[in-house]
Structure 1
Amino acid sequence: MRTILILLFFLFNQALSFGQTSRLLFKTTFGEVKVVLYDFTPKHRELILTAIKEGTYASSFFNRIIYDFVVQGGEHDIDIEKRESADPLGVKPRLNPEFDERAFHKVGALGAGRDGNPMKASFLNQLYFVVGKSVSAEELDKLELKKGIKYTAGQREYYLKYGGQPRLDGDYTVFGEVCEGLDVLLKISKVKTDSLDYPIEPIKFTLTVLE
């Protein structure tokens, strides 16, 4: 039932998508997903646009899938750690976070992955989509106390109606959201995975900018 409500929400309420200047197309083996990038997270918007231009996402994979949580793709944590560990200078390039109350972990939100760095800075070439789960008012109240944050009325209304992953708010940067093809993303979230959350059958995607 929640899935139907979420899909109806995307069909009839995409007001935030209007006025944003950049859109992306994810072509996957399950279908196409269109995404709008937020202008109010400009550094992350430009980061992914530059990466696409340079061919970083010409042939990538969704390599970490957790049902009711996230669908993650791009460079994997393990590969990033190996590459950075091999760097004699110990360079760990990151992008500082961009938090905005309009960018929260709703279902279909596009976020930037990161490690445990204290700055909460993002990896340069890793992204994830929120699949999420049902959220209660009690959970939101506890998260506010634990994280020292206050959810806006709009955020609270969304989470209670459609779910998401509010526990990630204020810790990971959200810089866009799905505007078409949420059903494709939800299908991907249900594939079989191994003990490390890798999908049993590889799920490839290509990423391009929509003109």
Structure 2
Amino acid sequence: MRKLIIYCLGIVLFFGSCEDKKKASQTETEIENEIKTEGEKKIESKKEETQNFPEITNENAVSFLTEYGEKNPETKVLITTRFGDIEIELYKDTPLHRANFIYLVKQHYFDETFFHRVVPNFIIQAGNSDLTSTQKKRAELGKEYLLPAEIIPGRVHEYGTVSGAKEYRENPDNRTAPYEFFIFLGPKSSTTHLNGKYTIFGKVTKGMDVVEEISKVKADDGDWPLNNIYISAKVIE
């Protein structure tokens, strides 16, 4: 009888051990699958951001950005600087500018560009640099195109609005230079030459203290900061 009890106990322990090992194996497999899935998502996301797109020209800009905007509906971007972060919300009623900005962010265009123009109590402007890499990016993405103006009646430059920089040469239609944007700080009294002539396509929702600090850095006679203010950008929503 004692041997029978020991024998039965051994069987129970054996199968219990097998069950524990099975559960442990299942748990390890589930964790591995989760890690693999997460990795695949990141790889797929990276592929989406770096996939080959056609060079943007004045001829295809509207059709390309319209289609891109439909597939990429995000409206919130985080700009990172050594002074801190700036969160920007893009307006849906300026669809070409919104799509263009999201496209440039996802293509990593803004990374390692600068806030290259700072005017206290007026604006800070970003999207350019004196690095050859910036000109190379522009050549690859589309060197010549401009964005059609999307000027909304009644919308004016206010504290924290984000607007597209404008190409002055032969530009009676107020088309936007696609790679540069500026954040407005100045009083409304200084907006006479801006309102109705520059497309306002977003606003700063967080980080105006950072914008203020950047606007006060020392700059040369051309408003270019004496020490480069690098930026990077990513889509957050």
What TM-score do you get using the length of structure 1 for normalisation? Answer: 0.67
1:48 maps to which of 82, 101, 105: 101
Deviation at 1:108, TM superposition (A): 0.7
Aligned equivalent of 1:58? 111
The whole-number CA distance in structure 2 between the counterparts of 1:46 and 1:25 is 15
The whole-number CA distance in structure 2 between the counterparts of 1:49 and 1:23 is 9
Aligned equivalent of 1:192? 218
The whole-number CA distance in structure 2 between the counterparts of 1:174 and 1:194 is 27
Summarize the Cα distance change of 1:102–1:39 in structure 2 as closer, same or farther, 3 Å threshold: farther
Gaps (5+ residues) in structure 1? 1-19, 136-163
The whole-number CA distance in structure 2 between the counterparts of 1:21 and 1:192 is 35
What does the per-residue CA deviation read over 1:148-195, in whole Å, with 9 as the maximum and x for residues that have no partner? Answer: xxxxxxxxxxxxxxxx63430110101000001111101111111001
Q: Which has the larger radius of gyration?
A: 2
Summarize the Cα distance change of 1:205–1:103 in structure 2 as closer, same or farther, 3 Å threshold: farther
Aligned equivalent of 1:159? none
Is the aligned partner of 1:170 residue 2:224? no
The whole-number CA distance in structure 1 between the counterparts of 2:228 and 2:75 is 28
Aligned equivalent of 1:109? 161
The whole-number CA distance in structure 1 between the counterparts of 2:219 and 2:183 is 17
Aligned length in residues: 154
Gaps (5+ residues) in structure 2? 1-72
**Which amino acid in 1 is paired with 2:180?**
Q
* RMSD of equivalent CA atoms: 2.3
What TM-score do you get using the length of structure 2 for normalisation? Answer: 0.60
Deviation at 1:92, TM superposition (A): 3.4
Give secondary structure in 2 for the equivalent of 1:45.
helix
Deviation at 1:101, TM superposition (A): 3.4
Aligned equivalent of 2:149? 97
The whole-number CA distance in structure 2 between the counterparts of 1:121 and 1:65 is 22
**Which amino acid in 2 is paired with 1:127?**
F
TM alignment of 1:8-47, pairs within 5 A: 22-47=75-100
Higher relative contact order (CA 8 A, sep 6+): 1
The structure 1 segments of at least 4 consecutive aligned residues displaced by more than 3 Å after TM superposition are none
Could you tell me whether the CA contact under 8 Å between 1:21 and 1:39 is conserved in 2? Answer: no
Could you tell me whether the CA contact under 8 Å between 1:69 and 1:165 is conserved in 2? Answer: no
What does the per-residue CA deviation read over 1:25-84, in whole Å, with 9 as the maximum and x for residues that have no partner? Answer: 0111111111100001111000010111111112210001111221001136x99xxx7x
